[in-house]
A and B are shown apart, each in its own frame.
Chain A
């Protein structure tokens, strides 16, 4: 059974159609990349799938139950979300922020996993040298990694990552995607919004391509990363190169002056 099912989801805000008939299934053990141009509705879809917002029409079921039926705490034990907005109001230390990811498991038997979960998350995100620092004094990329560690420490079956690589350098981008793969290998499901199509092509099991609020294409990287489809959606001529068996998308830059 699919972990998360979205059926015919419409979202209309202030009379504007933001999502239009999107249907999607997310399986355990897979990394699903959500891609699309700016304003395609990726973040809205992520918000609806993660239970933050209710769709105007359509149904979303998590583990066979409508997502709206979950209480906040229950939902927090099923899914974790890394948002793009990761400011912290008070000068907590990085370690305290990461430990906050364990709070949904307070007073449950899984509280025993606490230190293990935090250690693993710290290792996966390479933030062990930041733990004693004030979160508010960290750089953008460091904040992003500490926040990712917090989300990983939550240890849920389903993870939503909204542009987790946006503020990161090359190596940490790869680290994040490798972490997503490792989670999938543990039979968890990861939904990740990405702008870098080559990153999606290399690490996702499936790619869902959104444009203008509609799901334009969905399938394996080789199926979705088609020069014609991508070119049409982004309004830009692209070339798809396969290297090491992985499709990579590059803009056509023939006319660039040299």
Chain B
């Protein structure tokens, strides 16, 4: 569209300049004369305009698809630089070619004035081509700036698909008899805002889930999976206090039930509805609790919830690194966001349990680690502080006392003692909680000699990092997210993550699930959703056309190989009961044929 509009601007300016008497060559009519050498001038001009717009659109497509995200220039300048490519082709390929084509009309006497002829044009046509391309590139660059997302204050209406009619719906597939080990994937659903809250990055929109949701759910079952991390679009559903738009999720939930999919409902994923503002808003905790309660009442069959996803990442990128939502970069804003988000998670869990007392909360958090590079005391201090900061939201959620250093930090940045005491008294929250530890290749960081954090890659791995989280909270664990940006390396990463899970289980840690995130490729996560470039990240089990990727096949293979052995695992209720009783050593059911005589998980072959 931007390419066609750029071409339209070119034609319009050219028309106006000729109308006021300037000797500007017409670049449109000769193109129409190629198709209709015998046509009336107005017809040739209209046909020429259509072809001119089509060529502009084609070049716009090339710009959008291959170039836009790679040129690091301001938008207008970027468009102008790109326009030099089409200009060269126009000068040295198209223009001479048009001349050859028009030769037919001239020879037949249909074209009185041979447009673009050498005699007629002189330097006028090259100059006009240069000016036209500059204008086209400037318009293209100025218009094509945000290929993904939408204005936050003008959100689109969610589709309202009709609910399946009971009389034509096929028999629902039975859900698993009991929740045991969960092989899961997720629908990527992040929805933070950028540009000071004015632009919404909505992954469900970018990845096509709103259009392909039914197919996406079918693909989950095609993979042999039953558990799905799913984040209803809070920003589009929760339209104000007491105002909900359930239509889309009604249809999705009905299809999930029909397919026998067990959702892990992720109620707040890196963003808030526009009317709630951002994570500095003290009203967000009661508001999200209201939403969570309403959600639980609407879908009473849903048992597994993630109240707030990756609280550490959410607050850090919003209030400390300045990328999302409030886009602040100071410690007080970070502490404020953590207080609000952790309180929201507590109140949401309470609201859900008021409706469904047996609900289970899978608190997914990014598994992070900071390694000091050297014995420098300042570097050691920074690493130690960051290694405690990574736990802060979970500490408040799970009522785990923080160190004196962190307590002083919280107090210095606005957290009253009474509020801290309130968090430490919410002991019942974690009785029904499973700790999700996510892990990506960038999660481990080196604190360098200047005190900055640099990505290390996989240094110690999920085994070590997850064990640190487990030792701190003694909750059952789940590997709730992983993927790899290189589609060819993804199967290797999948299996290595899985081997980490196996080893930690054999060490006695109760791990109840594994997740490859996400079902489809994602968009713009290579820039942390901070810039709407439209870059596709090939991390999915399926690509955005919903064709399987290699890792999709590998995950299906993995599930087939290991699911039979894991069927002997204790149920989630048994795991939670053991955790509550303080018996955290993981063991298969007593009824299992060789219980106690072998490692928890037998490593089987294909």
A binds B: no
